[in-house]
């Protein structure tokens, strides 16, 4: 149902998948994933009269693989601000996985550019750091730590790992062919590693955004709907227990029964109903 478009922004051209007409909902994907995973959710949003625009994260499309000098989450959030501005200003935003961090940081640094915000499968940025205190969660994050080792990360990030992560995080799903095809590109795999290495390597943070960093990790002023899968094999529901402290008044945390990590695919109807209610 999607067509590929290019959103021209002040930070460069952003390739995206788009469908429908009406008020815009921007959907940001995560790892290891692709904007096309929003397809089933987009069908429901489009049927409700919305236009869905699902951009590729910087460095995750053949046209932008050479445009990721920095991999910090703030860089991606500023990209998202530029996309919203180009699409008309304050629009609705949905973010999944890494995209959830994009949406949360965008709401923190540019609340004027968002209307309603939904994040999926990752706690809010202001509370995300707490999950590293739990050994069991650190074990589930094994890939994140292995990715930090030069050479080892490159060797590990392959089809077998991506298949393992999908089967572990959302056992009812198989890796879509479009995801396999995306990560077959060594340049895209290298950029995915850069995003993870930027969690610990400050040299991968854009120094021009230093002042914004003071805002990006604080609770956003914009109320958010935070969705988590009850059966998520990546970040388990107990990690959302303190999420309210990182959310604005009026926010909600919903645990989707039977949902895995890729909620937009394995719990599409439930997520669509929650999203349409929140966005309305």
Does residue 196 carry a pLDDT above 80?
yes
Greater model confidence, 216 or 163: 163
- pLDDT tens-digit series, residues 31-45: 999 999 999 999 999
User: Where do the domains of the chain lie?
Assistant: 3-279
- pLDDT tens-digit series, residues 123-142: 887 777 777 788 999 999 99
Is the whole model's pTM more than 0.95, yes or no? yes
What are the Cα distances from residue 56, in Å, to 5, 155, 220?
A: 11, 24, 24
Q: What is the pLDDT of residue 24?
A: 98
What is the percentage of the chain residues whose pLDDT exceeds 90? Answer: 89
CB count in 10 Å sphere of residue 178? 13
Q: What is the pLDDT of residue 105?
A: 94
Q: Which of 112, 108, 49, 44 is nearest to 84 (CA)?
A: 112
DSSP secondary structure letter of residue 205:
S
Please give the average per-residue pLDDT across 114-126, as a whole number.
Answer: 92
Q: What is the pLDDT of residue 6?
A: 98
What is the percentage of the chain residues whose pLDDT exceeds 70? Answer: 100
* Cα(180)–Cα(49) distance, integer angstroms: 31
DSSP secondary structure letter of residue 107:
H
pLDDT band at 216 (very low <50, low <70, confident <90, very high): confident
What are the Cα distances from residue 28, in Å, to 96, 148, 149, 238, 242?
A: 6, 24, 27, 24, 24
Please give the average per-residue pLDDT across 51-79, as a whole number.
Answer: 97
Does residue 245 carry a pLDDT above 90?
no
Mention every residue, 6+ apart, whose C-beta is less than 8 A from residue 21. 49, 51
* Cα(272)–Cα(27) distance, integer angstroms: 13
Q: Which CATH number fits domain 3-279: 3.20.20.70, 3.40.50.1820, 3.40.50.150, 3.40.50.300?
A: 3.40.50.1820
Q: What is the pLDDT of residue 244?
A: 81
Burial 219-257 (b: 16+ CB within 10 A, else e): bbebebbbbbbebbbbbbeebbeebbebbbeebebbebe
Q: What is the pLDDT of residue 214?
A: 83
Q: What is the pLDDT of residue 184?
A: 97
DSSP secondary structure letter of residue 61:
S
DSSP secondary structure letter of residue 203:
G
Q: What is the pLDDT of residue 228?
A: 97
Q: What is the pLDDT of residue 217?
A: 80
Please give the average per-residue pLDDT across 81-105, as a whole number.
Answer: 96
């Amino acid at each position: 149902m999607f067509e590929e478009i290019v959103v021209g922004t002040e930070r460069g051209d952003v390739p995206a998948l788009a469908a429908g007409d009406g008020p815009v909902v921007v959907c940001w994907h995560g790892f290891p994933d692709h904007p096309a995973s929003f397809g089933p959710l987009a069908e429901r949003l489009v049927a409700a009269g919305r236009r869905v625009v699902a951009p590729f994260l910087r460095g995750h499309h053949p046209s932008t693989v050479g445009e990721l000098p920095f991999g910090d989450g703030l860089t991606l959030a500023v990209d998202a601000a530029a996309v919203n501005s180009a699409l008309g200003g304050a629009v609705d935003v949905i973010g999944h996985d890494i995209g959830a961090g994009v949406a949360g940081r965008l709401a923190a640094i540019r609340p004027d550019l968002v209307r309603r915000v939904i994040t999926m499968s990752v706690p809010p940025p202001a509370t995300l750091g707490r999950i590293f205190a739990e050994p069991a969660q650190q074990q589930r994050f094994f890939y994140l730590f292995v990715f930090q080792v030069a050479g080892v990360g490159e060797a590990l990030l392959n089809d077998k790992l991506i298949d393992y992560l999908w089967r572990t995080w959302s056992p009812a799903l198989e890796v879509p062919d479009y995801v396999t095809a995306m990560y077959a590109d060594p340049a895209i795999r290298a950029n995915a590693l850069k995003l993870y290495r930027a969690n610990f390597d400050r040299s991968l943070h854009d120094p021009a955004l230093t002042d914004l960093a003071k805002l990006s990790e604080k609770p956003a002023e914009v109320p958010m709907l935070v969705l988590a899968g009850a059966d998520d094999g990546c970040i388990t529901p107990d990690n959302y227990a303190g999420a309210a402290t990182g959310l604005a008044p009026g926010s909600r945390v919903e645990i989707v029964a039977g949902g895995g990590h890729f909620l937009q695919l394995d719990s599409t109807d439930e997520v669509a109903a929650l999203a349409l209610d929140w966005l309305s």
